[in-house]
Amino acid sequence: MGFDIKRFQGDVDEELICPICSGVLEDPLQAPACEHAFCRACITEWISRQPTCPVDRQAVTASQLRPVPRILRNLLSRLCTTCDNQPHGSGCGLVIPKDELAQHNCVRELRALIATQQGKLTDYQHELAEQRLVINEHKRELALLKEFMRAMRVSNPAMRALADQMEREEVVRWANSLSRARVTRWGGMISTPDEVLQQMIKRSLSESGCPPHIIDDLMENCHERRWPPGLSSLETRQNNRRQYEKYVCKRVPGKQAVLVLQCDNGHVDEHMMVEPGLVMIFAHGIE
């Protein structure tokens, strides 16, 4: 009886299927005149009942059955199949050409697989160690450079002006990269966010490309204790709530929070703004 068609990769051609068992031909034989091919076990069983070809009913006897042509045998050999142990749930999971099935041994195959994987793993570990070394060297060089820059900035006023200018431009670039946000419910503002919430917002800011020299200052300004006089208490917020609409807000990506940056909000009253900007976290109501 033939091989279960489900064990083979992809579609198996109709010509390679036994018309009796509907499996893939196993040890096939063919009828002499019409050349219809069947599994040896299937056609033997059929001829013992009725000496005809099961497809066209031409007379055939067991002794007239012939092996199939080489080309058909080769096509069958080339089909890729799962190993014999697979249907029992304990196969090695590998797919192998059918003609190698007879010599196939799951344990040997899997050992070979493990050996190659282990070799690769060792290689990667070596590579990783080398990369770490390089990274550490780079870090040291970077620290040295920073130190050098700081020293230049302190000793040379022209350099200081240049560095400040560069930092400001970086903030503007970042601010322009963020999308505008609209606050629909100012009442949803959380004026005293806890530590966990703050960390979450900080991570999001960092991922959005917030320049490192302002991120800590910005995060300080997410709590009412650091907000400007016009926002510092519930009462002043109530009094100034009409001013909110003047704010140009930027979305903190993926969060119910907005940035009100100094560089975007030069037009706002001084008692409503602080350097380098405000972070306002909301329970809901951000679009």
For another protein, the binding residues (CB under 8 A) are: 1, 4-5, 19-23, 36, 42, 45-46, 49, 52-57
Radius of gyration of the chain (CA): 38
Based on CB atoms, which residue is closest to another protein, 59 or 144?
Answer: 59
69-75 contacts at long range (C-beta below 8 A, 24 or more positions apart)? 72/15, 72/16, 72/25, 72/28, 72/37, 73/28, 75/13, 75/15, 75/16
Based on CB atoms, which residue is closest to another protein, 38 or 282?
Answer: 38
CB of 180 to another protein, least distance (A): 56
CB of 17 to another protein, least distance (A): 9
CB of 42 to another protein, least distance (A): 8
**Nearest C-alpha neighbor of 26 from the set 4, 45, 47, 49:** 4
CA atoms within 13 A on the CB side of 261: 23
CB of 15 to another protein, least distance (A): 13
Taking the C-alpha atoms of residue 247 and residue 182, their distance in angstroms, rounded to an integer, is 10
Residue in the structure block whose two tokens are 């570990």? 125
Residue 36 has phi, psi (to 5 degrees) of: -70, 135
Per-residue burial over 180-212, b = 16 or more CB atoms within 10 Å of its CB, e = otherwise: ebebeeeeebbbebeeeebebbbebbeebebbe
Number of H helices, E strands in the chain: 7, 9
Based on CB atoms, which residue is closest to another protein, 72 or 163?
Answer: 72
Based on CB atoms, which residue is closest to another protein, 79 or 183?
Answer: 79
CB of 38 to another protein, least distance (A): 8
Based on CB atoms, which residue is closest to another protein, 60 or 286?
Answer: 60
CB of 12 to another protein, least distance (A): 12
How many C-beta atoms lie closer than 10 Å to residue 76's C-beta? 20
Based on CB atoms, which residue is closest to another protein, 4 or 109?
Answer: 4
Residue in the structure block whose two tokens are 């990269």? 177
Based on CB atoms, which residue is closest to another protein, 21 or 260?
Answer: 21
Residue in the structure block whose two tokens are 């329970």? 283
CB of 8 to another protein, least distance (A): 14
Based on CB atoms, which residue is closest to another protein, 57 or 138?
Answer: 57
What residue spans of 156-210 are helical by DSSP H? Answer: 157-177, 195-207
CB of 88 to another protein, least distance (A): 15
Residue type, 166: M
